Chains A and B, each alone.
Chain A
Amino acid sequence: MHRYFPHTAADEAHMLEAIGVSGVEALFASVPESCRRTAPIGLTGMSEWALTARAEALAAQMPAAGAAWVGAGNYRHYIPAVVPYLMGRSEFSTAYTPYQPEMSQGTLQGIFEYQTLAARLLGMDVANASMYDGATALAEGALMACRVTRRHAVAVSLGIHPSYREVLATYCRAAGIRMVEMPLTAAGETDASAANMAEMAGVLVQSPNFFGVIEPLEKHAETAHAAKSLLVAGFTEAMAWGILKTPGSQGADIVCGEGQSFGLSQSFGGPNLGIMATRKEFMRNIPGRLVGRTTDASGRRAFVLTLATREQHIRREKAVSNICSNAGLCAMTCGAYLAALGGTGLAHMARLNRDKAAYLKAGLEEIGFTPLYSGPTFNEFAMLAPAGFEAKHAELLKKGVLFGLSVRAFGYAEPAWLFCVTETRSRAEMDAMLKEVAHA
Chain B
Amino acid sequence: MAESKIPGNVLYTKDHEWISKTAPWKIGVSDFAQNALGDLTYVELPNVGDSFEKGQEFGTLESTKSVSPLYMPASGTVKAVNEALADAPELVNQSPYGEGWIIEIEEAGSLDGLLDEAAYKAHLETL
Residues of A within 8 A of B (CB): 284, 306, 308-309, 314-315, 318
Contact = CB atoms under 8 A, between A and B. Distances in A.
Contacts of B65: 308, 314
Contacts of A314: 65-67
A436 B37 CA distance: 72
13 contacts: A284-B42, A306-B64, A308-B64, A308-B65, A309-B41, A309-B64, A309-B66, A309-B67, A314-B65, A314-B66, A314-B67, A315-B67, A318-B67
A317 to B, nearest CB: 12
Interface residues of B, number: 7
Interface string B34-78: 000000011000000000000000000010111100000000000
Contacts, number: 15
Nearest to A308: B64
Interface of B: 41-42, 62, 64-67
Given A306-B64, A308-B65, 13 more contacts: A284-B42, A308-B64, A309-B41, A309-B42, A309-B62, A309-B64, A309-B66, A309-B67, A314-B65, A314-B66, A314-B67, A315-B67, A318-B67
A198 to B, nearest CB: 20
Nearest to B65: A314
Contacts of B64: 306, 308-309
A284 B64 CA distance: 13
Contacts of B42: 284, 309
A318 B60 CA distance: 12
A316 to B, nearest CB: 10
A314 B62 CA distance: 10
Q: Find the residue from A284, A309, A315 having the highest chain B CB count within 10 A.
A: A309
A314 to B, nearest CB: 6
Contacts of A306: 64
Contacts of A308: 64-65
Contacts of A284: 42
A273 to B, nearest CB: 28
Nearest to B64: A308
Contacts of A315: 67
A76 to B, nearest CB: 43
A309 B44 CA distance: 12
B110 to A, nearest CB: 29
